[in-house]
Chains A and B, each alone.
Chain A
Amino acid sequence: GESVGLHLPTLSVQEGDNSIINCAYSNSASDYFIWYKQESGKGPQFIIDIRSNMDKRQGQRVTVLLNKTVKHLSLQIAATQPGDSAVYFCAENIGDSNYQLIWGAGTKLIIKP
């Protein structure tokens, strides 16, 4: 079964506020994590990634935090905009011989005007 899961299936955020999307993983051997954004009817797009030797990584308006102690990953989106409405997936690479990505169920982010 999947080792990655999400705490909230839907998240509603006021436009301009910060969004925090959470993800839990269970495999301590995971060494690489990715966040993807999927807009309706489209394929997922890469947002940001982080390796297990890091705690934090920042991109443009996005920050990913990794807490290996509690096996928790989060995506923070600053100043949320209407264009941020999408489903967000976390994925982990458990570092086995196949190096496959294990996908979480996704969180739908809704922006309130």
Chain B
Amino acid sequence: DGGITQSPKYLFRKEGQNVTLSCEQNLNHDAMYWYRQDPGQGLRLIYYSQIVNDFQKGDIAEGYSVSREKKESFPLTVTSAQKNPTAFYLCASSISSYSSYNEQFFGPGTRLTVL
């Protein structure tokens, strides 16, 4: 059963703490992405990775960090430098980002709440 998993589904964090969101895929996709979604809003790209050991900043990378040590894993760390971290975080993957026909497959999301 192939797909993308994100954990946990709900996450609570105290202000000033770093927290890491997990994203795993078994689709053998090269490219992976992290998006942030605020209530009633669209998706904004945080970071993306086109290949293992490589990643690029998206539109709103400040206060976030990522790593891509394995093809199947792309964890996102929300640091204390992120001023407004409460949001719904979505991870996605695609076969390759070096293609125009780049359908992205999404995980179920993690809802982060800062207390």
Contacts and interface: CB of A to CB of B under 8 A. Distances in A.
Contact count band on A: 20 to 34
B109 interface: yes
Contact of A49 (B92, B97, B103): B103
Nearest to A49: B103
Given A43-B90, A89-B43, A106-B42, A101 B109 contact: no
Contacts of B103: 34, 46, 49
Interface string B100-115: 1111111111010000
B97 A100 contact: yes
A104 B90 contact: no
A41 B104 contact: no
A49 B101 CA distance: 9
A36 B106 CA distance: 10
B43 A103 contact: yes
B74 interface: no
